[in-house]
Every structure is written in structure tokens, then in C-alpha cells.
A and B are shown apart, each in its own frame.
Chain A
Amino acid sequence: MIDDLCDQRIWKDTAVAGLYCDFKTHQEQSATNMLGAILKQLITGEDIPANIRQAFRKAKMELGCRYLGLPELMKMLYCAIALIPEVFICIDALDESSPKHRLELLQSLQDILLQSPRTRVFLTGRAHVKDEIVKSFTEVVTVPVGPTTSDIKQYLASRLDRDTEADAMDDRLRADIMKKISGTISEM
């Protein structure tokens, strides 16, 4: 999705920022860190905005380097987004974030949407996070997705073609794999 947005030149002056939630790194993936990662992408490649540089220098003089809090980060994010005509924020695997951080993140994203009408948020997750998303945003469209049988077969064929132990495979085994896996997924 991110690659597709980046590849498309339909929209000029568009920034695409994205990140992946990971259940292995709950502690590290706080709302502040995740939104900070979004901000990093929006300012990378450009001169770091003066307000961020000043805040950093000030923080560095306090207690070694004072931790950046969410309210301060949000102000920086608003300023950075305001400089870009259109921003897409994509967050994948939302279900893998911790529930506590997820609520804070969703609320912050909603605040961004309220502040910046030209920003779009794209989220993916398992079905059980749908209610949280719907509750957090005033305007949201939800798209349920699932694989098609033809896609499953095409993907399986591609992976089998890239098998590093080709000698272990014969036509019969290949046919079995194609039939059983695609059949099992389709029945799920």
C-alpha cells in the first residue's frame, strides 16, 4: 500500500509515512514513539524544522536529554504536517499494538485529522480492532478484505518456483500442495 502510494504520481507534494506495529515490541511502540516515527519520516530529506531543533536543544540541556512527551510531539507533528499539502499516514498491523497504546494512538490520529483536513489515515488490522477504530474516528470507512482463490494459487506457484530445494519436489507433491493449501484457505 505504501509502495503503491509512493509509486503513484497522481498527487504532487504528497508525503507518505508508515509504520508497522509488532507484538514483540509493545514496550518500545508507545503512541509517542509511533507518532515520532511518523514525524521522522515527514521531516527526513528536508531541513529539520527550526521549532523541532530548538525543542531538542532545550531538552538536551535538561536532565541530560529530556524525554519527549506526547503533547509536545503532537505540536511538532501539526507544524510538520501543515507544511505539506497532502499527507498519508499508514499504520499496519494495528492489532499487534498494545491496547493501551493503541487507544492513545488512535485518539492522536483523530486529532491530526481534525487539525489537518488534507491528511488521510490508512490502517490495517484484524477484525477485532475494528470497533476501536470506528469509535475513535468521526469519519471512517472500513474495508473487509480476504484473499481470492486465484491469488492464493498464483502466490503458491510463485513460492514453489523459488524453492531452494527443487530436487525435493516432484509434480505430484506440487499438485498436492497447490490443491490442499488453496482449498484450506478458501474454506476458512
Chain B
Amino acid sequence: MGEVVDLSWHWSDCGVSVAAVEHQSPIAPPPILPRVLSNYKIHPSLVFIVCISDGMADHLSQHRVNTDNVNCYNVSNSYNNTVNVNAPREYEDQEILEWLSPLEPRRRHHRSGPTESMVWEIGSWELRNSEDGVIERLVAPKRCCSVVGTPERGRRTSRENPLVLSG
């Protein structure tokens, strides 16, 4: 059974270990993905499923590929054919988000942010005062609102002890 193609060279720049080839031909052999996972002992999340055209599938069924010979198989050159690579969108979405920024503000917020040490209702007077609370100032015509610790105390006091703004 030689329908498995290792395309790891193709994806090395995006950190993917292995790509599997899945036939779309009506005469395709049984699903190969489980065998790929077993052979390479890789996590399913690292696998890209590469869908190829029917013509390509026919080629592969006629010309067995040595799956043990990793990194020497070049789909385009060996078969002079074009492989349509369709990475699942969620993988690309994750890559895009990481490309935009490596920072994970929300995760940090819940893991080690001041929320953990908050005491319910303390300091809420600052947010909810209907006349001059922070939220009311924030939606006021002036579009930037900054909250600064008083000079003598420093903001650190209000952060570790979330009496004022828990952010």
C-alpha cells in the first residue's frame, strides 16, 4: 500500500510535521489517515489533509510511493502534476491570529490577572456612580479616559488590591 505521501518538507516553514494525502478518486483505497497517524506517531492536530485531484489519485494508485523514504518525494516533480493543497481553515485561522500578535491578553487575564483576587462589589462605586463614574466618563464626548493612581499611592496599590479598578 503506497498511497501515503510525506510532504513534511512542504510544510516545514509553518511547523507542521506531516501532511497526508487523501484520495478523492472513486477507486481510492480505504482511508489512509489512521495508518499515517500510526506510522508516524504524530498528534492528529499536526496533520494536514491534502486533497488531490482524481487524476493524481490514479497516478498514485499506479505508482506506489515508498513511505519509509521520508523527505525525498516531491509530488509536483515526480508526477508532473499539480496538487491542490487545502489546509483546514481552522489551522490557518490559528496561524493568522498568531501572526497578528503572539500576545494572549485574554488568557493572561484569566490566569494571573487581578480578576482572581477580586472581591465582589469592592470599588464598584467607581464604575457605577451615575454622575461621575468611569464608565460614564468613558462614553462621554471625550473619547479617551485615563485612570491614574494618585501620586502618593501609585497605581500598584489599586492593582494588587483591587479596590478601585480591577481592569
Binding site for B on A (CB under 8 A): 1-5, 8, 18-20, 28-29, 32-37, 39-41, 44, 48, 52-53, 56, 59-60, 64-65, 68, 73, 76, 88, 90, 92-95, 109-110, 113, 117, 119-127, 129-130, 133, 137, 139-148, 151-152, 154-155, 158-159, 185, 188
For the complex, is B139 an interface residue (Cβ under 8 Å from A)?
Answer: yes
Interface pick from B21-29, B36-44, B50-58, B92-100: B92-100
Q: Which of A18, A144, A147 contacts B105 (CB 8 A)?
A: A18
Q: Is there an interface contact between A139 and B156, defined as CB atoms closer than 8 Å? A: no
Q: A33-B102, A36-B103, A147-B161 are in contact. Are A127 and B150 (CB under 8 A)?
A: yes
Q: Which of A64, A122, A154, A158 contacts B145 (CB 8 A)?
A: A122
Interface size on B, residues (CB 8 A): 59
Q: Which of A1, A39, A56, A117 contacts B165 (CB 8 A)?
A: A1
For the complex, is B126 an interface residue (Cβ under 8 Å from A)?
Answer: yes
Mask: chain B, 114-152; 1 = CB below 8 Å from A; 0 = not: 010101001111110000001101111111111111111
Residue picked from B119, B144, B149, most chain A C-beta under 10 Å: B144
Q: A4-B127, A140-B146 are in contact. Are A52 and B155 (CB under 8 A)?
A: no
